[in-house]
Amino acid sequence: MRQRVGLEALGDAGPGFLHQLTGVIAAHQGDIASVEIIESVTNSRTYLEVELPGDPEAMLRDLRALECVRDVELVETLQKVYGKRIIIMGGGAQVGQVAIGAIMEADRHNIRGEHISVDTIPLVGEQALAAAVRAVARLPRAKALVLAGSLMGGEIETAVREVRAKGLLVVSLNMAGSVPDAADLVVTDPVQAGVMTVMAIAETAKFSIDKLTKRVF
């Protein structure tokens, strides 16, 4: 049975560090699910999540034997610690209200064993928002996006359709512009939007957008 483990490797910064790490992981039939490199001037700290077919001790031993590696340790995966991510973006006031609902509802589910985290970013401007929407599809563990504002359309709508095609759930406040037409779900009350978004991605909830008879609330 395969298991996912988190690895944090500290070594000498420079070309080839990641290449040597991944070579050892591949030799142990490890499938890298996620990687993040955090560099300083002299050190390279790399975090990886790896799917392994068995015990990780042999792989850890071989990683520590690399000349470029100073230390490797097993850590909890970010999926286990932070879980699914909800991203809320748009106008500051609306973002704050959506966050209130999302955080309260996430707390209720997390107490029951779920792991859901909430990220916010106040943004204005069509191009800035469109770029941010597209970037959500590249964020690890991001499951849902809430667009909170008074007016969004144009390139933002195009970006929403693109990320939905990649499997991201998009919830929009009931606002002016064409973004509500492109979203999976439209909710007028921002607090309720946050609550419903959490319910839609929580495994401990019995709420499914697919079963709704209407899309606008």
Angle of CA points 177, 89, 170, to nearest 5°: 65
Nearest CA-CA partner of 90 in 202, 174, 7: 174
State the pLDDT at residue 205.
73
- What are the boundaries of each domain within the chain? 3-77, 82-211
- Among residues 192, 196, 172, the alpha carbon closest in space to that of 184 is found at 172
Question: Residue 177, SS3?
Answer: coil
CATH code assigned to 82-211: 3.40.50.10550
| Res 80: pLDDT | 83
Cα separation, 1 vs 192, whole angstroms: 40
Q: What is the pLDDT of residues 9-38, one digit of tens each?
A: 888 777 788 888 989 999 999 899 888 887
Q: What's the confidence (pLDDT) of residue 120?
A: 94
* Cα→Cα distances 155→113, 130, 141, 177, 214, Å: 38, 6, 24, 11, 26
CATH topology of domain 3-77: Alpha-Beta Plaits (3.30.70)
DSSP designation for 158: H
Q: How far from chain centre, in Å, is Cα 68?
A: 30
Q: Which residues of the chain have pLDDT under 70?
A: 40-42, 213-214
What is the structure's pLDDT at 40? 66
Report pLDDT for 206: 74
User: Token digits for 188?
Assistant: 């007028």
39-48 in b/e form (b: 16+ CB < 10 A) is eeeeebbbbb
What was the pLDDT predicted at 37?
Answer: 83
Residue 62 tokens read as 């071989």
CB 48 within 8 A of CB 21: yes
Q: What is the predicted pLDDT for the residue at 159?
A: 95
